[in-house]
Structure 1
Amino acid sequence: MAKRLDKVVVITGASSGIGRATALEFARQGAAVVLAARRMAALHEVAEECVEAGGRAMVVPTDVTDQRAMQALADRAIDAFGGIDIWINNAGVLALGRFEDTPDDVFEQVVRTDFFGTVHGCRAVLPHFLDRGEGIIINNASMVATIGQRYATAYAAAKFAVRGFTESLRQELVDEPGIHVSMVLPAAIDTPLWQHAANYTGRAVKPMNPVHPPEEVAAAILALVHSPQREVFVGAEGRLAAVGNAMAPSLVERAIAHTIERDMFTNRSAPATSGGVLATMPEHQGTSGGWRTPKPKRGFSWTNLTLFLLPVLLASRPLGGGAVRHP
């Protein structure tokens, strides 16, 4: 029988998608999960599933853009369970559309949620970890923390900021060997993020192929707890795109921009909407957004793009160049 994970785990953005899948994964391991998000009803559903899976669960409705609310989240977790072992900054929202078409308030809210939500989480839990001399922070940075994304200027900017913040914070903690700060960088994931996205493109959107299950990200997060690393990509597309962008940025930028144009939209129009960015949506509360299909879609995709770029990049690589590792 596998050893139970007797840890207290705080997860933001736990009401759906990656956060919900991660909460269930930790609950199956026997952990106590503290579930934070804006949607109370959805959080209670997740809590019931976590208890059924063998864990303990507590619900704390939280807006990650509010620093005082995040501090209250940390305080409640500590009061209820005597401490926090793992803090996962996962809450995120997405806005799609040309920069000039994205309203100011929507753009700002994406940055406040995706970047400052991470900052607020770290600010809330770090003093507790410093007092204990141990703890694990895992920030969901996305593969677009390493390369831009057409029609997602706010989202990519926030994720780049998460990466820079995480790397800088890690440097500040080099003399704290018991405290680990990791990043997970998922590629396209089958979650309701896309149904909740603000959309100003005029077209219905979807994740780019291939689409990975949220449980794959949850497993990567759990692995970081057992064996902390600086960062881990979920989906080879992210690592290949990052390497390609470092080696041949002009080529990769154009290729990715055209891939997005071909593969991120369905064949129908869509009205402009702020989605779930400014206010919560009651729909689409599961782990999956229903985007995966039994057979891979034919046509241009992240997989096709990276397979096309790889020999080009290898041919342009200087002799004697070393591979970049992320231990």
Structure 2
Amino acid sequence: MRIRTRSEPRTVVITGATAGVGRACVRAFATGGDRLVLVARGSAGLHAAAAEALAAGSPVRTVLADVSDPEACEGAAAHAEAEFGPIDVWVNDAFVSVFAPFTEITPEEFSRVTEVTYLGYVNATRAALRRMLPRDHGTIVQVGSAIAYLGIPLQTAYSGAKHAIQGWHEALRCELLATGSGVRVTMVQLPAVNTPQFDWVLNRLRGRARPVPPVHQPELAARAVRYAADHPGRREYWVGASTAATLLANAVAPGPLDRYLARNDVDAQQDDQPRRDQDPDNLWTPADDDADHGAHGRFDAEARERSAQPWASQHHGLLAAGGAALLGAAAVGALARGR
């Protein structure tokens, strides 16, 4: 089968497309004219996301589906190809979470987070690979988190799911490399992002849930996801200096980092404002079925729109070469000075 060139519109499937990073990804891919298939549980959010894609000039279809259901993922993939032809890019972003101490999360709630946040990625990827592998073409982008490497207090279920995605993604990538497949999988590790999830996550903390500073805007994450889809050869990309610092610190000093998180991140994940009983909870049912919440949460005043770190992640070879050149120049200078 003929491989499309990048200049041609692609068929792109995005899960968790109604809010937060997923919603920002809709806008990022729509600006390139790609054909979009948006997958989520909330009908109002899907309708609004589709309207934005259409306004940007992209053909779009929507699928109401819960990614924890393998058959629903298979149906979404079949619908995408029936409407727009072969899937070129699949972005996995759907998730749910619980903010609470581990001992206050029920077995059913913990299973639900795992089934959506981890197995949802597995189910969706399986549906995509069933179509991509015979054609030897396609890219799957897993939207990850710094939490994939470093679990944090009060998010045990989410931390476990993101760690699971990381290990499974690496194993799957090795399998594809071993067979010489033309299908690519890559992962984008995100920092704290200003999304609506903090107003609809199941929360048993004393205060309203919030991201740990520094907070970044979802458009920064979406640009990185689109870049990864365009350049899928890397195992993963890091977004935000805080992500890079966290992952590097965890590699060299995990014990002190655990103690730092124990001292600081319990309070850092909640506002001084008390938790509100009227806040929605999207663990079992969508919070955007009747109202659209968009891409941004309530932290616009502090959220960063840009970061130099994604460029560094995308151009690490250039930076390594530059660093080597500087070291070489320093060595030559030292020799010239007789040192």
Give the TM-score range, shorter chain: 0.7 to 0.9
Q: Which moved more, 1:154-163 or 1:127-136?
A: 127-136
**Residues 248-287 of structure 1: pairs in structure 2 closer than 5 A:** 248-270=253-275, 275-282=281-288, 283=291, 285-287=293-295
d(CA) in 2 for partners of 1:144, 1:34? 28
Aligned-pair CA distance for 1:222:
0.9
Distance change (3 Å), C-alpha of 1:294 and 1:217: closer
Match of 2:301 in 1: 293
Show the counterpart of 1:325: none
Aligned to 2:331: none
2:148 aligned with 1:145? yes
- The CA distance in 2 between the partners of 1:176 and 1:217, in whole Å, is 30
| Counterpart contact for 2:208–2:272, Cα < 8 Å | yes
1:35 and 1:57 in contact (8 A); partners too: yes
Where does residue 130 of structure 2 map in the other structure? Answer: 127
Is there any run of 5+ residues in structure 1 with no aligned partner, and where? 297-327
Letter in 2 for 1:291: F
More divergent stretch after superposition (160-169 vs 237-246): 237-246
Larger Rg: 2
Preserved contact between residue 184 and residue 234 of structure 1 (Cα < 8 Å): yes
Report if aligned partners of 1:203, 1:269 keep a CA contact under 8 Å in 2: yes
CA distance in 2, matches of 1:294, 1:150: 23
Q: Distance in 2 between matches of 1:256 and 1:294?
A: 21
Where structure 2 has 5 or more consecutive residues not aligned to the other structure, the ranges are: 1-5, 305-339
1:24-71 CA distance string (max 9 Å, x none): 110110000100000112101111110111111101111001000100
Number of aligned residues = 294
Is 1:9 the counterpart of 2:12? The answer is yes
| Aligned-CA RMSD value | 1.7
The residue identity in structure 2 corresponding to 1:275 is D
Judging changes above 3 Å, is the alpha-carbon distance between structure 1 residues 291 and 100 closer, same or farther for their aligned structure 2 residues?
Answer: same
Say yes or no: does 1:82 pair with 2:88: no
Task: Give the Cα separation in 1 of the matches to 2:275 and 2:236.
Answer: 36
Q: Judge conservation of contact 2:12–2:91 (CA < 8 Å) in 1.
A: yes
Q: Distance in 1 between matches of 2:244 and 2:302?
A: 25
**Where do 1:161-176 residues align within 5 Å?**
161-174=164-177, 175-176=179-180
1:240 has 2:245 as partner: yes
CA distance in 1, matches of 2:195, 2:61: 23
Which of residues 64, 67, 86 is equivalent to 1:64?
A: 67
Give the structure-1-normalised TM-score.
0.86
1:196 paired residue among 187, 196, 200: 200
CA distance 1:230–1:197, shift in 2 (3 Å) = same
CA distance, structure 1, for counterparts of residue 292 and residue 211 of structure 2: 15
Tell me the amino acid that sits aligned with residue 279 of structure 1: T
How far apart are 1:5 and its partner, in Å? 5.1
- Residue 40 of structure 1: aligned partner: 43
Task: Report the Cα distance in structure 1 between the residues aligned to 2:303 and 2:14, rounded to whole angstroms.
Answer: 32
Is the alpha carbon distance of 1:150 and 1:129 closer, same or farther for their aligned partners in structure 2, counting shifts above 3 Å?
Answer: same
Answer with 28-37 or 257-266: which moved more.
257-266
Q: Which secondary structure state, in structure 2, belongs to the residue aligned with residue 173 of structure 1?
A: helix
SS at match of 1:121: helix
Q: Which residue of 186, 200, 220 maps to 1:182? A: 186
Provide the residue aligned with 2:222 in structure 1.
218
Q: Which amino acid counterpart does residue 258 of structure 1 have in structure 2?
A: R
User: Residue 202 of structure 1: CA displacement?
Assistant: 2.4
Deviates more, 1:169-178 or 1:109-118: 169-178
Which one-letter code corresponds to 1:285 in the other structure?
Answer: H
Q: 1:267 is aligned with what amino acid?
A: D
Q: Kindly, what percent of the aligned residue pairs are identical?
A: 33
Question: What SS does structure 2 have at the residue aligned with 1:9?
Answer: strand
Alpha-carbon offset, residue 200 of structure 1 = 1.2
Equivalent-residue separation in structure 2 for 1:271 and 1:56 (angstroms): 39
Partner deviation per Cα, 1:210-249 (whole Å, 9 max, x = no partner): 1101011110011112212211111111121111112111
- Pick from 105, 108, 117: which aligns with 1:105? 108
